[in-house]
């Protein structure tokens, strides 16, 4: 996709890859996903249009996606095999590669704010579990009860996955396996940022951490190259250092953002069993949103204010605003 002019901005978001089969998608559901993506784009767009930073824009966009129960992050996160929610999130500032991440927590209303607090106030990059929760309380982050995060659809998905496991059947439904939300942005000053937040994969083992909070795997931002947020089979994204691999191709191999991100998603991750996709922006404002499965909830917006969203391999739906 085309680059932007020097002082234009761009924001891209995703709501997870591996979508509901077209045959099971109703027009109402489809419209709700597009509307959810548009709300996130608009939340970040106003920040960037006001001259705000890429970091603030990706925080705002991911918070909107976490608040939306349709997506697997924050409210609506999936369940572990033990029937608990364990959320992971990360944020990275391309200006100086500062980064913050949390893993295995349930409590903060917006896990991305927990990751940001780690980045800005802990002196560390990554906090996990109970200590991360204690830190979030000290930081005064808003907490919610487990009932706030509960959705019937995610609970049912867990029951179906566990039943399939018991019967030895393999789960072919990508929508049960996948999810995650993320945002990447370039602000008017050419600064890049990335943020990713997830409940992980349905029926994951308690304590399992995926790629989303792992800097260089599911989340990466560096002003000299690009910002990336991934969604898909986290173990493979970690093993192939997906986000950093894309940036390295820009830095050392002179590849364009589109070449690099498509090659990693299609030629590296897919053959290794890493179904999913990424959203990426580079320092010139180019955007790339490749995926190697049936679809990825995704969208982007530039300074023209047109909110472009898509789910499958299809033309973007364009709206000025809802
Ligand atoms: N990447 C996430 C994880 O492995 C899940 C997903 O994006 O579908 O935790």
The 10 Å CB-count burial string (b at 16+, else e) for 107-135 is bbbbbbbbbbbbbeebeebbbbeeebbeb
Helix-, strand-, coil-residue percentages of the chain, each rounded to 5:
35, 25, 40
Q: Is 180 assigned a catalytic role? A: yes
Closest ligand 1 atom, CA of 237? 1
| Per-residue pLDDT at 168 | 85
Its sign, for the CA torsion 255, 259, 265, 271, is negative
- pLDDT tens digits, the chain, 322 residues: what are they? 555 567 799 999 999 998 778 888 899 999 999 999 999 999 999 999 999 999 999 999 999 999 999 999 999 999 999 999 999 999 999 999 999 999 999 999 999 999 999 999 999 999 999 999 999 999 999 999 999 999 999 999 999 999 999 998 877 676 677 789 999 999 999 999 999 999 999 999 999 999 999 999 999 999 999 999 999 999 999 999 999 999 999 999 999 999 999 999 999 999 999 999 999 999 999 999 999 999 999 999 999 999 999 999 999 999 987 6
Instruction: Tell me how far apart the alpha carbons of residues 139 and 310 are, in angstroms, rounded to a whole number.
Output: 37
Mutate to test the pocket of ligand 1, among 74, 198, 241 (most ligand atoms within 8 A of CB): 198
Q: What b/e sequence results for 186-216 when a residue is b if at least 16 CB atoms lie within 10 Å of its CB, and e otherwise?
A: bbbebbbbbbbbbbbbbbbeeebbbbbbbbb
Separation of CA 17 and ligand 1 centre (Å): 9
Q: Which of 199, 281, 202, 200 is nearest to 237 (CA)?
A: 200
Q: Indicate the DSSP class of residue 280.
A: E
pLDDT reported for residue 5: 67
Sheet holding 219-221, edge to edge: 219-221, 226-232, 276-282, 287-288
Structure confidence at residue 267 (pLDDT): 98
Is the shortest distance between the CB of 212 and ligand 1 below 6 Å? yes
> 213 CB less than 6 Å from ligand 1?
no
Atom of ligand 1 nearest to the CA of 218: 1
Q: Is 76 in the pocket of ligand 1 (CB under 6 A)?
A: no
Structure token pair of residue 25:
């998608």
**Domains, the chain:** 10-320 (3.60.20.30)
Task: Specify the residue with its C-alpha closest to ligand 1, atom 9.
Answer: 200
């Amino acid at each position: 996709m085309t680059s932007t002019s020097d002082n234009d901005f761009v924001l891209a978001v995703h709501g997870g890859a591996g979508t509901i089969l077209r045959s099971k998608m109703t027009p109402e559901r489809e419209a709700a996903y597009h509307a959810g993506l548009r709300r996130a784009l608009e939340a970040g767009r106003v920040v960037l249009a006001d001259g705000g930073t890429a970091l603030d824009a990706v925080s705002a966009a991911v918070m909107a996606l976490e608040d939306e129960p349709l997506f697997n992050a924050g409210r609506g996160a999936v369940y572990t095999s033990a029937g608990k929610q364990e959320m992971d999130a990360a944020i990275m500032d391309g200006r100086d590669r500062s980064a913050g991440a949390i893993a295995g927590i349930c409590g903060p209303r917006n896990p991305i704010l927990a990751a940001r607090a780690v980045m800005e106030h802990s002196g560390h990059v990554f906090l996990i579990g109970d200590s991360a929760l204690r830190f979030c309380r000290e930081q005064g982050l808003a907490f919610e009860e487990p009932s706030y995060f509960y959705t019937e659809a995610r609970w049912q998905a867990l029951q179906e996955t566990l039943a399939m496991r018991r019967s030895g059947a393999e789960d072919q439904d990508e929508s049960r396996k996948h999810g995650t939300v993320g945002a990447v942005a370039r602000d008017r000053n050419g600064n890049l940022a990335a943020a990713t937040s997830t409940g992980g994969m349905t029926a994951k083992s308690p304590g399992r951490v995926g790629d989303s909070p792992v800097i260089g795997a599911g989340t990466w931002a560096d002003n000299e190259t690009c910002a990336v947020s991934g969604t898909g089979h986290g173990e493979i994204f970690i093993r192939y250092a997906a986000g950093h691999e894309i940036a390295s191709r820009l830095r050392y191999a002179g590849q364009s953002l589109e070449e690099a991100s498509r090659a990693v998603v299609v030629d590296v991750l897919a053959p290794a069993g890493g179904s999913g996709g990424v959203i990426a922006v580079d320092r010139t404002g180019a955007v790339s949103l490749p995926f190697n499965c049936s679809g990825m909830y995704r969208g982007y917006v530039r300074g023209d204010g047109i909110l472009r969203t898509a789910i499958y391999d299809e033309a973007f739906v364009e709206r000025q605003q809802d």
